[in-house]
Structure 1
Amino acid sequence: MTFNQFKNKPIIKILLNRYVLILITFIVWMVFFDENSWINHKEFNNEINKLNKEKEYYKSQIDEDKELINKLDDKEELEKFAREEYKMKKENEDIYIIEYDTLNKK
């Protein structure tokens, strides 16, 4: 089959049309090479989703901390927290810290 016979097929005529060639070039450029390309948009959307998840996590942490602050307004709860977290004690009081061995013995 020669080039002229190949060129006379209808699909080839359409593909070799200058407007179709310009359109294909434009689409390829916009998808891959432009600074606002589809690939960049996809990466930005993924980053936005990641940041939204982080935002929700930090909001939940803030809510937990607010609950803890409200709970620590009570003197007994404050003492309990200080003993458990900071190993504080009252005068004339002994504290024993028990640590468990987490390594398996062979």
Structure 2
Amino acid sequence: MTFKQFRNKPIVKIISNKYVLILLTFIVWMVFFDENSWLNHREFNKEIDKLNSEKEYYNSQIEKDKELIQKLDDTEELEKFAREEYKMKKENEEIYIIEYDTLKKK
């Protein structure tokens, strides 16, 4: 195949068109090299999704803590919480902590 035959093919004519070359260069530049490229936007969207999931987690934790604070307004609940979480006791009282071994023995 000679150069003239190759040049006369329709696909080669389309690709060698200066407007198509400029458009392809622009597209490649915008997708890969530009400061606002598609790759950067994809990374930012992933980070936004991650931050939104963290926000949901922390909002749920805040709700749990609000419920706990409301429960601790009652003196009996406050005493129960102090005993369970901080191993506090009254005077002349003994506390026995029973821990179960979760490992299976051979």
Cα distance in 2, alignment partners of residues 104 and 15 from structure 1: 71
Show CA shifts across 1:34-75 (max 9, x none). Answer: 121101101100110110010011001001000000100000
Cα distance in 2, alignment partners of residues 16 and 75 from structure 1: 84
Q: Write out the 4+ residue segments of structure 1 that deviate beyond 3 Å after TM superposition.
A: none
Name 2:36's counterpart in structure 1.
36
Show CA shifts across 1:67-106 (max 9, x none). Answer: 0001000000000000000000011111000011122211
Name 1:6's counterpart in structure 2.
6
Secondary structure of the structure 2 residue equivalent to 1:101: coil
Gaps of 5+ in 1: none
Show CA shifts across 1:2-45 (max 9, x none). Answer: 12111111221111011100110110111111121101101100
Cα distance in 1, alignment partners of residues 96 and 51 from structure 2: 43
What residue identity is the alignment partner of 1:14? I
Secondary structure of the structure 2 residue equivalent to 1:90: coil
Aligned residues: 106
Q: Identity of paired residues, percent?
A: 82
Name 1:53's counterpart in structure 2.
53
Cα distance in 1, alignment partners of residues 46 and 105 from structure 2: 46
Q: TM-score, normalised by structure 2?
A: 0.96
1:21 and 2:21 correspond: yes
Secondary structure of the structure 1 residue equivalent to 2:48: helix
Cα distance in 2, alignment partners of residues 92 and 76 from structure 1: 19
Secondary structure of the structure 2 residue equivalent to 1:97: coil
Q: TM-score, normalised by structure 1?
A: 0.96
Cα distance in 2, alignment partners of residues 99 and 10 from structure 1: 81
Cα distance in 1, alignment partners of residues 4 and 90 from structure 2: 100
**RMSD across aligned positions (CA):** 0.7
Cα distance in 1, alignment partners of residues 53 and 3 from structure 2: 57
